[in-house]
Amino acid sequence: MKQFQSLPDGNNLVSEDESFEMGFFSPGNNSNRYLGIWYKGIPVRTVVWVANRENPVRDNSSKFSINSEARLVILSHNETLVWAANSTTKRQVVSPIVQLLNSGNLVLREEKDSNSENYLWQSFDYPCDTFLPGMKIGWNLKTGLNRQLSAWKNWDDPSKGDLTWGVVLGTTPELVMWKGTTEYYRSGPWNGERFSGKTTSLFQLEFVSTNDELFYTYNLNKDSSLITRVVLNESAYSRQRYNWIPENQTWRLYSSVPRDYCDNYNLCGAYGNCLVNESPPCECLTGFKPKLSRQWEALDWTEGCIQSEEWKCREKNRDGFQRFSGLKMPDTTKSWASGNLTLDDCRVKCWQNCSCAAYANLDIRGEGSGCQIWFGDLMDLRVASVPGQDLYVRMHTSSTGSSNKTNSSEESSKRGQRKKLVVAIPVSFLLVLMIVLTFIYLYWRKRKLREKIENISQERGDEARENKFELPFFEFDTIVRATNNFSSDKRLGQGGFGPVYMANSSQREILDWPRRFNIIFGIARGLLYLHQDSRLRIIHRDLKTSNILLDNELNPKISDFGIARMFAENQIEANTKMIAGTYGYMAPEYAIDGRFSIKSDIFSFGIILLEVVSGRKNTGVFYPNQGFNLLGHAWRLWKEGTPMKLVDACLGDAFTVSEVLRCIHIGLLCVQLHPEDRPNMSSVILMLNSENNTLPQPKEPGFLIERMSINEAGKTSSDENKINSSTNEITDTLLEAR
């Protein structure tokens, strides 16, 4: 182990395996000096711990050493104390030394204990914003030490910010994130395998509860060489996990919480269940109704839900329990737990207490064990992102269809099992028969629907040929005047059916922010109609700014449906070998694999939204010094916490900052790499309309232009599909039968 007794500014200490390095540094544009620990072998300096985060040194003449009381201290050039480590040891220390371990843990111990874990002090007990493998988040119950993370104030200032994350003591402790003193996110209680709201297969998670300690920790799976860290991000108000990718020499975001707006604490109020893929996301549990209907209909769910019919405590056959599966368990602040009771015992105990609202197993391993009981309103419910556990909620028997009776004797239990077996066999047979018949029906219906769509297309083609469409007719002289004798100055663009002209094609200066926001909202409503409200779902496939026309009142109109596709009612996505569209607007899964869906249109909408905000086009690399197109530039600014630098300079200061920031945020949500991460259009409109809901943090976008190369044959290096495209935003459309 490398060790020292005094370390002046300019000298660094390196761990034995050279994984970590410690020394004085200045973060970002800050000239102050801090003592920190960072990764040794990673070229991008990534600081994982700071000693004097609240007490910076003003020059580079300070030093880090061990004082006469065997405490770690930072002294300025005139020997003034700048920082001192907390110390709880009361024994006499003969020869203290400092070591930086391969785990990134800075430890103080006696030289004779150099091969043991008998530390006098360790940095892992005083974490900053980073959670490394082997660290503990939680409590030392003997000393009262609370290990919790706190974010840096900003990229240049490592002092404590508003965002903190740690373990809350209670009957069933949970991991909780706070904004200041306000609870912002909670993990759900530990259920023996994981916290009820999250899981992972890459790491070994462990929650330890003894008389001396209560903490959460994680380690890498055996033989893993992964470099990973968890960090609190003040600018994004999230807890993020990053993995180091050696091939790209970059940190890649692996996960982030809150993951979505359902992760925001108690979004739907008491007894309100949050479903992230629904719009609106909040609904009352079965057997409950909105407490204030008008507020609920106005998308204000803070008052939550109440019972549709009040339970009658302890009255025979008047109240029982309804089972809900797959939920994140409610807030455990008002709960009680016992590891010795069975689930049946738990039910009886809850039913006998008129204040008990719900019960569940404490531990889900095996067949389940232990008992947890909730009192008062159930708060912060949501559908779990991983298989959740069963929660039994108290309500009137008219809602549950069950009573409060339980079989207490072994014989009654056996009788019940025999009855279940007698019923299960014929039910299973009928279920298989129903599945077979359902598949036959769905196949027949699909054939009929395809024939119907083909007939509709044929009929509409016949009507077009017979001039039965009620389209406006213009005299040739009118068109000549409107296009200034077909001048190229009036041309918007050119597609497979010829050039397009319109009168508002070059009036960027008159597009103030209210008009731009109106255009964004109008495009969103148009897409919602195509994706959801139209009789047949329509995927545009070539959505871009040059296909958005503005009328005399600057209202947007989506145009050029030459390569659009119609979906059947139950169709989600389709594949094509003939890829048509415009690079810079095509979603990665469409450009590479030929898969398109409503989510590929939403990717294009996200690009358009960023273009409207910035006044720049995404196509072409216009940040040559940085190698970014518009999307890459926007993502870099977002990660740096300066997204407002993206705003078009033509707007000056005449815009609403929160509204513009929300639009940038939504745009980045729409262009995320994986289609399932992107919102649908109903969610986009809800986010555009609302200033109150906290939006989920965006993941890395699909940098299509940067990551794809096109050869002379028009094929990508990663795919052999034929691609009809152009870099000048002219769509090459191939006419083919639909």
Catalytic residue among 125, 263, 542, 560: 542
How many C-beta neighbours within 10 Å does residue 690 have?
A: 14
* Omega prior to 258 cis, within 30 of 0: yes
Q: 212: which 2 tokens?
A: 């001396």
- Block residue for tokens 């996960």: 255
Q: Is the dihedral of CA 630, 636, 637, 643 positive or negative?
A: positive
Residue length, the chain? 738
Q: Is the peptide bond before 280 cis (omega within 30 degrees of 0)?
A: yes
Phi, psi of 677 (to 5 degrees): -80, -20
Q: Name the strand (E) or helix (H) holding 233.
A: strand 228-233
| CA–CA separation, 500 and 498 (whole Å) | 7
Nearest to 57 by CA among 84, 85, 26: 26
Q: Which is it for strands 203-209 and 595-597: parallel, antiparallel or unpaired?
A: unpaired
Q: Which two tokens stand for residue 213?
A: 């300690």
Residue whose C-alpha is closest to residue 359's, from 377, 383, 343: 343
SS3 for 239? strand
The residues, ordered by sequence, that sit 6+ positions from 45 with a Cβ below 8 Å of its Cβ are 25, 38, 39
3-state helix, strand, coil in the chain (%, to 5): 25, 30, 45
User: What tokens does 576 get?
Assistant: 């094509």
Identity of the residue numbered 341: L
SS3 491: strand
Four-residue CA torsion sign, 295, 300, 304, 307: positive
CA distances from 506 to 124, 290, 550 (A): 60, 50, 11
Ordered DSSP codes for 61-111: --EEEE-TTS-EEEE-TT--EEEE------S--SSEEEEE-TTS-EEEEEG
Nearest CA to 170 out of 155, 156, 184, 186 is that of 186
DSSP 3-state of 371 = strand
Residue carrying the six token digits 């989600």: 572
Neighbours of 124 (CB within 10 A): 20
Q: Name residues whose C-beta falls within 8 Å of residue 408's C-beta, 6 or more positions apart in sequence.
A: 344
Angle at 399 between CA 396 and CA 403, to 5 degrees: 60
Decide if 542 is catalytic.
yes
**Catalytically active residues, by annotation:** 542
